[in-house]
Amino acid sequence: MDTPGKPAYRRISWTQAFQTEWLRTLIWLGIGLVLLALIPKTGSAAPSSRDRDADGKRHWAFKPPVHPPLPALANASWPKSAIDHFILARMESKGLVPVRDAAKQPLLRRLYFDLIGLPPKPSAIDNFVNDASPNALEKVVDRLLASPRFGERWGRHWLDVARYAESSGKEFNFTYPHAWPYRRYVIEAFNQDKPYDRFIREQLAGDLLPSRSREERDEQRLATGFLAIGEKRHNANQKTFRMDMVDDQITTTSKAFLGLTVGCARCHDHKFDPIPTEDYYSLAGIFLSTKTLYGTSKKKYSDHPSGLVPYGPDAEKLHKAYQAYKKRLKKTETKLEEAEKKLKDLKSKQKESSESKTKDGEGGSPTDKKVAAAKAKVKRLKGKVAEIKEGKPAAPRYAMGAKEADKAVQAHVAIGGNPSKQGKQVPRGFLSAIDVKDAPEIDPKASGRLALANWIANRDNPLTARVIVNRVWHHLFGRGLVESVDNFGALGKRPSHPKLLDYLAVRFMENDWSIKELIRSIVLSRTYRLSTHYDRQNGRIDPENSLYWRMSPRRLEVEPLRDAILSASGALNLRRPSGSPVTKLGQKLARKFPYKKMNPANHHRTVYLPVVRHYLPHMLQEFDFPSSSLVIGDRAETTVPAQALFLLNSDFILEQSKKMAKRLFKSEAKGKTRRIVLAYRLTLSRSPSIEEVTEAASYLSQSQKGLRSRYPEKERRRLLAWAGLCQALFASAEFRYLIEPPRQSHPPREALSRLNQEIDHGKPPR
Amino acid sequence: MESPHVKLITTRREFLKSALCGFGYLAFASLATEAAAAQRNPLAPSAPHFRPRAKRVIFLFMRGGPSQMDTFDFKPQLNKDNGKTVNKDDELLGSPWPFHRYGESGLWVSDLFPHVAGHVDDLCVIRSMQTDSSAHPQAVPLIHTGDFQFTRPSIGSWVLYGLGSENDDLPGFITINPSRVFGGPANYGSAFLPAAYQGTRIGWEGKSLKNARIRNVSNDRFPADVQADQLDLIQSMNEGLLSEHHADPKIEGVIDSFELGSRMQDVAPRVMDLSKESKKTLELYGIGEDTTDNFGRQCLLARRFAEAGVRFIELGHGSWDHHREIKDGHERTCAETDKPIAGLLTDLKRRGLLEDTLVIWGGEFGRKPELQYGSGRGHNADGFTFWMAGGGVKGGQAYGVTDEYGSKVVENPVHLHDLHATILHLLGLNHKELTYRYGGRDFRLTDVHGRVVNEIIG
């Protein structure tokens, strides 16, 4: 669909625009038409499969990355790192000149949000601005990388890709109370800087890896939650249920780690990539030989019960005892139910006979004795149930995950994707298009998951490292070097900087697949440090900024946005919660829970909010949280009125802005001006200009007047007026984007104190 | 009703609207620079593929499956063979309700819909609908998204994505009293389409609509003038930022969103406020009568939203799933909806809105001619009835034929993918061209299916 773009030059006159751009467009249009007429008509049919496979193997992404030499530069003094060499070389070839470096404050804000997803505290800003040492930046970066907040930020990026959610989705949507340990595993993995190849192995086959301790063993098993948390239709028939689950596992594994869409090959050979149907069923065999542990019990709409992964100290022993307890309890409860039913029957019989008794005057029916006996039995059983319950053993902790199935199987090709139309049987294996030297062999008795994991987490796999370094780059610049971050196939975009991509991939593997090292090297590059300022000259040559002549302004995703609000209001609870609100709900239909029950008041970081498919917390719904039914490495970014309304009227924002106002009053900042300065520092990580202080002050007095009709108490009016100011800051574009503020001079000390006098001591501001 | 467009501001959007068809469009297209394409207001109106017959849709979704042979698909043979044993041990159930011919077209309608019957000359009754599943959990997402296997965008989201919104003051896709079951919100979700295209929910099925409202359109803290000052402050900060960042489309997007949001704040409660409607109008929809009050409100709201330019409006009503006691059940569901729907059609027509508003009535499937559990009917995916009115369809005609009992389609089948293709067609969209690329593949509402049913277009 072609939709007209909105004109970007808001402030230039139309005549001006028409004179220049309009004419240019006409010329281009003419050239375009001529060219179109000259191009011979080509068939639109998909290439034949032989051509496709031969072409496909030549596709850039299937060739191994090689360490490229540094390109020569005209301006050799600009780069600070190898990354900068590659970036500048492309710029120079197009006549682009990088803009200036970002100022210290916005750079710090950028680093904080990018690395830990939180704004810097005012003291951190001061420290950084006043630190003149040459390694001031390195110190900050290392501190942020070491912060436990890092994993909460970067773990969430991975959870987007892993389609993490706490319910089964689809039509019946059962809550998954034990999904959250996987989330915790991911956060921890990023905090520990777990080598990425190991991270892959653990998620696909953690249960099969050797371990040195109980803790390590648990951790690895939790990782396999990756395979279990996908969407599931728990009431489908057995065959469909299995094949759909396997499909989810294949699709997610191939997209997440390899950037390939293998799912198409379920029904037919991939139309554009060299992925034949047999490859799909080779992978299917691996997952069919795996037992996925998603932990549902048998009930209405849920026909495929499965266990879970018990973990923690003595998990196995506790699990056994707990299972025995549940069995015993159930047995006794069933007996009790039967006894109660019998008693009820007898009682009604007794009533009938007593009615007839009064009629004919006879007494002592045998029913009375039976009732007495039944009563005694009920009493005894009730006592027994209570006794069993009293002896309830501690339950182990549970998580979702996977283990080997009892038997390894080979899958049959399902013709046209229809599981009841069996084609030929294919051995378990990997994708034939990707050559991995000394590819691991699949043990005939094993599922092949470990071999698959080793095949993916392999230095010879041309895709694995490229895909992850590109994901990291995407999060730090708002765009991947390969823009289609989840698709490195023929239909994906080609890399804008192929050499840089290879350089990063090779270095990454050489650095023991360290994500933190990778991030460190990128954020310390000069390219990352560029200002967000626009440059007309460059803009004309490269309007999309695809060659990185500046840092593109980026919007905060919903997590850092909400966290920044909570941080400014002082309400943010940085403690890592154990469990999830969903854990308490048990395994039930999601639709049964009212919103508040699923989303109790929660001031934890946003990554810890419950993610129940189709029933997201309101703020997540409004601000482009990705669909957790799909692998999404590149979130949509839409700006719509519903977001404005959320920021103007939602309970959350009203509550937090009031909290922040209270915080301002409790702080050491005395007087209106100082409080305004603090409000700016808490939200925008900078001091306001004199004009901004004046504007805020006049807003405060204006709104206090306006509030008179509704709020008789002065104190309350004052607080709410300040809350209104805090809310305006939350709503401002500057708060919601990583973008440099309007150019301004720092308010000189004496100007500030003069303002203080004026604003705080009666003299009205201008 | 006061016009929602009292505060017309000449925006770039409107300029664009007027320039869409002309050469101006080309100039604008070239002006779109960095990220402008992605950052433009995703809801700005965009041109259809060809001349549309309908500008908006009101979908009356009768969840559970209304019975066709008891409403719009008259089967005299079924009545004659009432009680006869078929398929070994099934017993046929003749319709408990008499049918009559109505209007100039003489279409048959049962006594369950006496009010709607008055509009038959505007109805195009499709008696040959088919879907892929006779189980609610699959059929409900199918009718909404064209798929049940995977989570896909709702038809309302596709339409909004294709055409944008006609108004700046309200959401473009509104669903009133949707059901929480069988996918619930996924039925108005945008799946892989950007969240801007998701439906805005008002109320839940089975709940009174009286106090339901759109989320976050007002707050109790600030009087209007104080909030207006606050908005000025926000926009002043944003303008300051914009002046520094040469026409950054992202900042412009934020400024626009507040402009639109604040108008939505003004307009949405006014559009939703039924108190200014005349007593006569309220009566027309059955508002105030116990049986029809709730659905009457839904229908009147739909008209008001349609009038205000909302692109896609869905009204939920359920449940029609009468496996038992169909006599009482359908009598109740029809009584609840008949007068309100007729009122809606009358009202749309007299306001000239029916011409370009496509009204669609139907459920996820229909029902079987055989008796079930002694007093009801089972699910039927092989033949059931939908009707459409307005928006370019040929009224007063029946399309497609089911067998003598209404069990299966025997002539001119209309699969739900065909229905979707036809709806898009009436809106000026080619269902094969309305695509969105996700994960390396172009997706469409009709997947690889869909035939435009030209015969029903007027």
Q: What mean pLDDT comes out for the span B393-412?
A: 96
Nearest residue of A to residue B46 by CA position?
A3
Q: How far apart are CA A401 and CA A371, in angstroms?
A: 51
Q: Is residue A739 part of a domain?
A: yes
Residue position matching structure tokens 């039913």: A341
In the predicted structure, residue B373 carries a pLDDT above the cut 50: yes
The enclosing H or E element of A645 equals helix A641-649
pLDDT of A266: 87
Q: Which two tokens stand for residue A692?
A: 């901004």
How many structural domains compose chain A?
2
State how far the alpha carbon of A421 is from the alpha carbons of A239, A394, A414, A432, in Å: 12, 48, 5, 24
The enclosing H or E element of B242 equals helix B224-244
pLDDT of A4: 37
Centroid of chain to Cα B323: 26
Q: Which two tokens stand for residue B330?
A: 């359908």
Q: How far apart are CA B358 and CA A522, in angstroms?
A: 54
Q: What percent of chain B has pLDDT over 90?
A: 71
Q: Is residue B257 part of a domain?
A: no
Smallest CA-to-CA distance from B344 within B275, B396, B292 is with: B292
Residues 362..401 of B with a Cβ closer than 8 Å to A: which?
A: none
Q: What mean pLDDT, rounded, does chain B reach?
A: 88
Contacts of B233 in chain A (CB under 8 A): 695-696, 699, 725, 728
Nearest residue of B to residue A174 by CA position?
B183
What residues does A602 pair with on adjacent strands?
Answer: none
Q: CB of B421 within 8 A of CB of B135?
A: no
pLDDT of B365: 97
Q: How far apart are CA A439 and CA A432, in angstroms?
A: 11
Smallest CA-to-CA distance from B151 within B143, B141, B159, B161 is with: B141
pLDDT of A356: 64
Taking the alpha carbons of B80, B83, B87, B90 in that order, is the dihedral positive or negative?
A: positive
Q: Is residue B339 part of a domain?
A: yes
Pairing state of beta strands B436-438 and B441-443? antiparallel
Residues 601..620 of A with a Cβ closer than 8 Å to B: which?
A: 614-615, 618
Centroid of chain to Cα B224: 33
Q: Is residue A216 part of a domain?
A: no
Q: CB of B151 within 8 A of CB of B143?
A: no
Q: Is residue A713 part of a domain?
A: yes
Q: How far apart are CA A189 and CA B439, in angstroms?
A: 27
Using one digit for the tens of pLDDT, what is the confidence trace for A326-370?
A: 899 999 999 999 999 988 888 888 777 776 655 554 555 667 788
Burial of A254 (0-12, 13-18, 19+ CB in 10 A): buried
Residues 134..153 of B with a Cβ closer than 8 Å to A: which?
A: 136-138, 140-141, 148-151
Q: Does A7 touch chain B (CB under 8 A)?
A: yes
Nearest residue of B to residue A169 by CA position?
B183
Q: How far apart are CA B264 and CA B270, in angstroms?
A: 10
Smallest CA-to-CA distance from B105 within B129, B128, B90, B122 is with: B122
How many structural domains compose chain B?
1
Smallest CA-to-CA distance from A695 within A715, A711, A679 is with: A679
Q: How far apart are CA A167 and CA A177, in angstroms?
A: 8
Residues 246..305 of B with a Cβ closer than 8 Å to A: which?
A: 246-258, 260-262, 264-265
Looking up residue B115, the CATH number of its domain turns out to be 3.40.720.10
Q: CB of A529 within 8 A of CB of A107?
A: yes
pLDDT of B41: 72
Lowest average pLDDT, out of A41-45, A138-142, B393-397, B436-440, goes to A41-45
Q: Is residue A658 part of a domain?
A: yes
Helices B224-244, A641-649: inter-axial angle, 10-degree rounding: 130
Q: Is residue B343 part of a domain?
A: yes
**Contact yes or no for B249 and A727 at CB 8 A:** no
The enclosing H or E element of A754 equals helix A749-760
In the predicted structure, residue B18 carries a pLDDT above the cut 90: no
Smallest CA-to-CA distance from B308 within B349, B256, B351, B346 is with: B351
pLDDT of A708: 95
Residue ranges making up the domain that contains A109: 104-146
**Contact yes or no for B233 and A695 at CB 8 A:** yes
Instruction: Assess: ipTM above 0.90.
Output: no
Q: Is residue B216 part of a domain?
A: no
Smallest CA–CA distance, residue A366 to chain B, in Å, is 41
Mind spelling out the 3-state secondary structure of A380-408? HHHHHHHHHHHCCCCCCEEECEEEECCCC
Using one digit for the tens of pLDDT, what is the confidence trace for A53-105?
A: 666 668 999 999 999 999 999 999 999 999 999 999 999 999 999 999 999 99
pLDDT of A582: 95
Q: How far apart are CA A661 and CA A647, in angstroms?
A: 16
**Contact yes or no for B27 and A645 at CB 8 A:** no
> Quick check: helix, strand or coil at residue B107?
strand
pLDDT of B17: 40
Residues 650..669 of A with a Cβ closer than 8 Å to B: which?
A: 650, 654
pLDDT of B45: 87
Q: Which two tokens stand for residue A549?
A: 């002549």
Question: What residue type is B88 in one-letter code?
Answer: K
Using one digit for the tens of pLDDT, what is the confidence trace for B281-316?
A: 999 999 999 999 999 999 999 999 999 999 999 999
Q: How far apart are CA A3 and CA A17, in angstroms?
A: 20
pLDDT of A47: 47
pLDDT of B115: 98
Question: What residue type is B122 in one-letter code?
Answer: D
Pairing state of beta strands A411-414 and A401-404? unpaired
Residue among B234, B249, B435 minimizing CB distance to A728: B234
CB contact burial B319-352 (16+ within 10 A = b; e otherwise): bbbbbeebeebbbebbbbbbbbbbbbbbbbbeee
Q: How far apart are CA A477 and CA A471, in angstroms?
A: 10
Nearest residue of A to residue B43 by CA position?
A640
Q: CB of A554 within 8 A of CB of A532?
A: no
User: Residue A78 phi/psi, 5° resolution?
Assistant: -75, -45
Lowest average pLDDT, out of A140-149, A158-167, B38-47, B400-409, goes to B38-47
Question: What residue type is A208 in one-letter code?
Answer: L
Q: Is residue B237 part of a domain?
A: no
Centroid of chain to Cα A353: 68
**Contact yes or no for B222 and A639 at CB 8 A:** no
**Contact yes or no for A645 and B227 at CB 8 A:** no
In the predicted structure, residue B19 carries a pLDDT above the cut 50: no
Q: Is residue A443 part of a domain?
A: no
Q: How far apart are CA B413 and CA A766, in angstroms?
A: 75
Q: Which two tokens stand for residue A193?
A: 């800087």
Model confidence, pTM: 0.83
Q: How far apart are CA A640 and CA A642, in angstroms?
A: 5
Q: Is residue B366 part of a domain?
A: yes
Residue in B11, B151, B161 to test binding to A, most A beta-carbons within 10 Å: B151
Q: Which two tokens stand for residue B415?
A: 């699969």
Residues of chain A falling short of pLDDT 70: 1-57, 355-366, 744-766
Using one digit for the tens of pLDDT, what is the confidence trace for B338-363?
A: 999 999 999 999 999 999 999 999 99
Pairing state of beta strands A422-426 and A411-414? antiparallel
Smallest CA-to-CA distance from B272 within B176, B351, B349, B173 is with: B176
Contacts 24+ apart (CB under 8 A), B49-53: B49/B428, B49/B429, B49/B430, B49/B433, B49/B434, B50/B428, B50/B430, B51/B428, B52/B356, B52/B392, B52/B426, B52/B427, B52/B428, B52/B429, B53/B356, B53/B358, B53/B391, B53/B392, B53/B393, B53/B426, B53/B427, B53/B428, B53/B457, B53/B458
Q: How far apart are CA A453 and CA A521, in angstroms?
A: 27
User: Residue B175 phi/psi, 5° resolution?
Assistant: -120, 125
Ramachandran region, residue A614 (left: φ > 0; alpha: ψ -120 to 50; beta: rest): left
Q: Which two tokens stand for residue B59?
A: 């979908």
* Boundary of a domain, candidates A146, A179, A201: A146
User: Residue B360 phi/psi, 5° resolution?
Assistant: -125, 135
Q: How far apart are CA B121 and CA B395, in angstroms?
A: 5
Residue ranges making up the domain that contains B347: 44-211+291-456
| Cis peptide bond prior to B319, omega within 30° of 0 | yes
**Contact yes or no for B231 and A648 at CB 8 A:** yes
Residues 531..570 of A with a Cβ closer than 8 Å to B: which?
A: 532-534, 536, 539, 543-545, 552-553, 555
Smallest CA–CA distance, residue A695 to chain B, in Å, is 8
Q: What percent of chain A has pLDDT over 90?
A: 71
In the predicted structure, residue B29 carries a pLDDT above the cut 70: no
Mind spelling out the 3-state secondary structure of A162-211? CCCCCECCCCCCEECCCCHHHHHHHHHHHHCCCCHHHHHHHHHHHHHCCC
The DSSP result for A75-138, as a single string, is -TTS-SSHHHHHHHHHHHHHT----PBPPHHHHHHHHHHHHTSSPPPHHHHHHHHH--STTHHH
Q: How far apart are CA B366 and CA B403, in angstroms?
A: 14
Smallest CA–CA distance, residue B287 to chain A, in Å, is 28
Residue in A639, A711, A718 to test binding to B, most B beta-carbons within 10 Å: A639
Pairing state of beta strands A737-738 and A554-555? antiparallel
Q: How far apart are CA A195 and CA A172, in angstroms?
A: 38
